[in-house]
Amino acid sequence: MKEQIFDSQRFLQSLADDMELARELLAAFLEDSPERNKSLAEALQAGDIDAASRLAHSLKGMCGVIRAERLVNLALNMEQAAKNNDLEKTKKLFEDFDANLTKAHEEIHTFVED
């Protein structure tokens, strides 16, 4: 069994099983996170470590709202690496974050459609 990135049960519990609110929050995440992620990729490509730190921080918060702990931890590590001016480490962490974000989106779509 593959490890989940999006813990739908924990997420719903945090919302007192309010499925309507869950759908709203997930829709916002699905809409906003790709843009923020793209901006982070662009900042890293440009070597803008300050922007990368801010964007990683923002993504960390977004992922926390939906209880995607692996993404939260990766974003936190990216933010810390960026604050330490370690562009290469930040880029490596971004690759992992990006792949996991894609998986999270798939899991969220499956959850919302069920």
Tokens 């926390």 belong to: 64
Please report the pLDDT score of residue 1 as a whole number: 45
Q: At what angle do helices 69-83 and 49-65 cross, to 10 degrees?
A: 160
Of 36 and 2, more confident? 36
Please report the pLDDT score of residue 58 as a whole number: 97
Using CA atoms, how far residue 71 sits from 47, 80, 96, 105, in Å, is 22, 14, 9, 11
Domains assigned to the chain: 19-113 (1.20.120.160)
Query: How much is the average pLDDT of 11-24?
Result: 95
pLDDT in tens, 21-79: 999 999 999 999 999 999 999 999 999 999 999 999 999 999 999 999 999 999 999 99
Looking at the predicted structure, is the pLDDT value of residue 5 above 90? yes
Identify the burial level of 89 via C-beta atoms within 10 angstroms of its C-beta, where 0-12 means exposed, 13-18 middle and 19 or more buried.
middle
